Structures are given as structure tokens and as C-alpha cells.
Amino acid sequence: MSNIIKAIQEIYPDIEGGFVYWETKQDGTPLDNPEDGLIWENIEYSKPLWSNVEAKLNEVDLQEAKDAKTTEIEQARKDYQYSNITFEGNDYLATFTAQTKFYNLLSLSTGDIDWRLADCVTWITLTQTQAIALKDVIIARESAAYQHESTKIIDINNAIDVEAVNAIDWTL
């Protein structure tokens, strides 16, 4: 759906048709004036001023940028959080499933734990102390990732224009 249509729906939330927006001329070339693309046949609502449409368009564009950036930041956090962890010189698989299995095994175990490394081939034995230390590393990394994500989401919500939203970067 065109953002122009979304902007008009912001102006008239209950509008149900009666207008179309063409982004190009009939021959496919760009419009000389974007407002010329708005064809208004709605009898319930008056045609909005183009300046009002443009103002709402900025709001729609900003919200779309915020939504996209939030999704990007959430995915970056997950990618970071569930990437392999290096602990005592070994790389450990840190997918959500692997972490869940690790926590379950750790909570049920009273001794050493056999655990597969990130290469998905090599198995090693972790002492109870090593397993607890690895759990602490995982939890600290998860906590840092969530805190960083939270800060970035606040930055996104406080951004007042699309450029500010696009400048927000996930780097931890």
C-alpha cells in the first residue's frame, strides 16, 4: 500500500474508499506534482489539503523506519546472543535450542557434563565448575545483549526523523 494512502487513512481513519493515488502518469513517467496523483471521489470526506497529506506522510515514513529498525535491532540481538561462544579456548554452539538443553542438563546434573562443541563433532567433558562458569558467561552475554537492545529501542522511539532512525546502529 502506498504511503500516500496510509497518510490519508491517518487523516481519515474511518475512510472506506472513494479515492485513488497514482504515483505516475498514464504513460509511466513520474508526476510533475505528487498531489496530481490523488483522485478524490469520496462524498463523505472532503479532499485533504496536500500539505496535510505530506505532514502525515512524514509521520508514516518515520513510523515505518522505526518499525524496520526495531526489527533489525531485535534480529541483530538474536544473531549476537545466539552466536558461538568461546570459553576456555573452545567454541560452543549457542543457539537457543543448545542453550536450553545446556541449562536443562546443568540443572539436572550433579557432576561432569559431556557437551558437544560448535563444530558439532567434537565432544568434551565439562566439570561442574566449568559448566557453571560457561553458564555465567552465557547469562552475562544475554544480559548485555538485552540491555543494549533496550537502549537502541529507546533511541529508535525518541528519534524524530527517518535519518536519525537510520543512523542507529547495533554494535556491541
9-63 pLDDT, tens digit each:
999 999 999 999 998 998 999 999 889 999 999 999 999 999 999 999 999 999 9
pTM to 2 decimals?
A: 0.75
The contacts of residue 50 (CB under 8 Å, 6+ apart) are 34, 35, 38
How many whole angstroms separate alpha carbon 38 and alpha carbon 23? 9
Domain residue spans in the chain? Answer: 3-48, 78-167
How many whole angstroms separate alpha carbon 7 and alpha carbon 54? 8
> Tell me: the pLDDT tens digits for 64-97?
999 999 999 999 999 998 888 899 998 988 888 8
> Tell me: the pLDDT tens digits for 111-121?
899 888 888 89
